[in-house]
Amino acid sequence: MEIFDSSAFIILLMFVLLGSGAWLFSAFLLVSTLGLLFVVDMNPARIGAIMSQVMWRSASSWELSAIPLFILMGELIFHTDIARRLFRGLSPWVERLPGRLLHANVGGCTIFAAISGSSVATAATIGKITIGELDERGYDRDLSLGSLAGAGTFGLMIPPSINMIIYGVIAEVSVAKMFAAGVFPGLLLAVLYSGYIVVRCWFDPSKAPPAKRASWGDRLRGLVDLAPVMLLVFIVLGTIYTGIATPSESAVMGLAATIVLALVGRQLTFAVFVQALMSTVRTSAMILTLMTAASFMSAAMGYMHVPQDVAAAIGSLDISPLQLVLLLAVFYIVLGCFLDGISIMLMSLPIVLPLVTAAGYDPIWFGVFLIVVTELGLITPPIGFNLFVLQGLTRLSLGRLARAAFPFFLLTCLAGAILVAFPELVLWLPRVLF
């Protein structure tokens, strides 16, 4: 089989399997095995040896140990009142801004993302607290739900992002540098979202009820409510950026601090702990199983010369690096309508990353850009996970929620364009800290 034909066969087989509803784990393994059998004509015994070596090496990576720890930390926070205190603490500080408590959606998701690492957990936790509060106080429902759907995606970008850990392992770049690279882009998204809320409510004050005057006493009490969350943020991120701990070590310290806070607040029961552990095992097993299968697929594609083949095909188009990035952005946005961000990353990086680095882009910058464009998949139907979370909380249709989230979809696209125009927003902090 000709090399180009074999690459087309592999890519087509992958999409056929995905379209058939096959589990991603089995699809990755089947595509890799069939490709090595029929394209490379490799002996089955050798395929088994390669599979076992590659999958074991991937599964035993030390950096991956942070994933279940951060997931468990987020699960425990989900079952305590830490997130509720976060909303209560932010409220008096945003009363004077046009949009008022709508900014608590954005600010709450920004801070919660810095201790959870998961977008779905961020949207679900903050949504449970703010949706009812904002509805009761008369805030515009579409703006409330749209801002929550959009800001819920911050869990992918703002460290400690699980997606960044996965990207760092696959791309063989420092996870700590990836965490640092996500800080300014995450804050950029938060500023764009809050700026949009300010403009909407400035021109249409009916979107938010009249302001309640918050005293400095209220603000000081708000700082007390924010203290546990800020302590966790400092423990998790401060120890990484100061060089005290690695991401995995900071995850251990963050988890220990979360357990202590939950015990002090008398909210950590045996039933809650078991429930959090079971959820952590399910989520971690899903992510790590996909990663090991994807590592085998990456190795198999190398044997089949698929990345080189695709690179040659794109090179023959004679497109500029900027055109390549725009083409990839459209590709990821379309793919995000049908797959989650982790699956997209694991499936595409073996092919895409060599193209991007050959075009002169820094792999750390591309990792952040990739996360920005995969964030869009969380708020686009039919497989927008944040939309499903909000649907479960509100019982509204996906169409209604997608329309509410559409302005924030456009703002995220704008953020991606800004990162393309000003890559130093991504690269400056990792360079300074490391």
Q: What is the pLDDT of residues 349-400, one digit of tens each?
A: 888 888 898 889 999 999 999 999 988 888 887 667 788 888 888 888 888 9
- How high is the pLDDT of residue 369? 95
Cα–Cα distances (Å) from 127 to 211, 286, 340, in that order, read: 22, 24, 20
- Kindly state the average pLDDT of the residues 82-88: 82
- How high is the pLDDT of residue 90? 87
**Arithmetic mean of pLDDT over the chain:** 85
Q: Which amino acid is at 352?
A: V
* Residue 411 confidence (pLDDT) above 80: yes
- Kindly state the average pLDDT of the residues 235-240: 87
Per the listing, tokens 């910058």 go with 365
- How high is the pLDDT of residue 160? 85
Per the listing, tokens 């009820």 go with 209
The Cβ of residue 273 has, within 10 Å, a number of other Cβ atoms equal to 16
User: Model confidence at 129, in pLDDT bands (50, 70, 90)?
Assistant: confident
Higher pLDDT: 211 or 209? It is 209
- Kindly state the average pLDDT of the residues 79-103: 84
User: Model confidence at 6, in pLDDT bands (50, 70, 90)?
Assistant: low
pLDDT in tens, 277-333: 998 888 888 888 888 887 888 788 778 777 667 767 776 777 888 999 998 898 888
- How high is the pLDDT of residue 5? 58
- Kindly state the average pLDDT of the residues 225-231: 88
* Residue 423 confidence (pLDDT) above 90: yes
Query: How far, in Å, CA of 385 to CA of 374, rounded?
Result: 12
- How high is the pLDDT of residue 74? 82
Cα–Cα distances (Å) from 375 to 18, 73, 165, 191, 352, in that order, read: 20, 22, 16, 16, 18
- How high is the pLDDT of residue 430? 94
Query: How far, in Å, CA of 182 to CA of 177, rounded?
Result: 9
Asked if residue 178 lies in contact with residue 203, where contact means CB atoms within 8 angstroms, the answer is: no
- How high is the pLDDT of residue 3? 46
Instruction: Select the highest-mean-pLDDT range: 6-20, 99-113, 121-135.
Output: 99-113
- How high is the pLDDT of residue 62? 78
* Residue 172 confidence (pLDDT) above 70: yes
Query: Exposure of 141 by Cβ count < 10 A (0-12 exposed, 13-18 middle, 19+ buried)?
Result: middle
- How high is the pLDDT of residue 311? 66
- How high is the pLDDT of residue 41? 83
User: Model confidence at 4, in pLDDT bands (50, 70, 90)?
Assistant: very low
Instruction: Select the highest-mean-pLDDT range: 61-65, 194-198, 248-252, 371-375.
Output: 194-198
Instruction: State what percent of residues in the chain have pLDDT above 70.
Output: 95
Cα–Cα distances (Å) from 385 to 19, 204, 214, 377, 378, in that order, read: 18, 30, 36, 8, 5
Higher pLDDT: 192 or 219? It is 192
Lowest mean pLDDT among 179-183, 197-201, 212-216: 212-216
User: Model confidence at 18, in pLDDT bands (50, 70, 90)?
Assistant: low
Lowest mean pLDDT among 158-162, 186-190, 419-423: 158-162
User: Model confidence at 22, in pLDDT bands (50, 70, 90)?
Assistant: confident
User: Model confidence at 2, in pLDDT bands (50, 70, 90)?
Assistant: very low
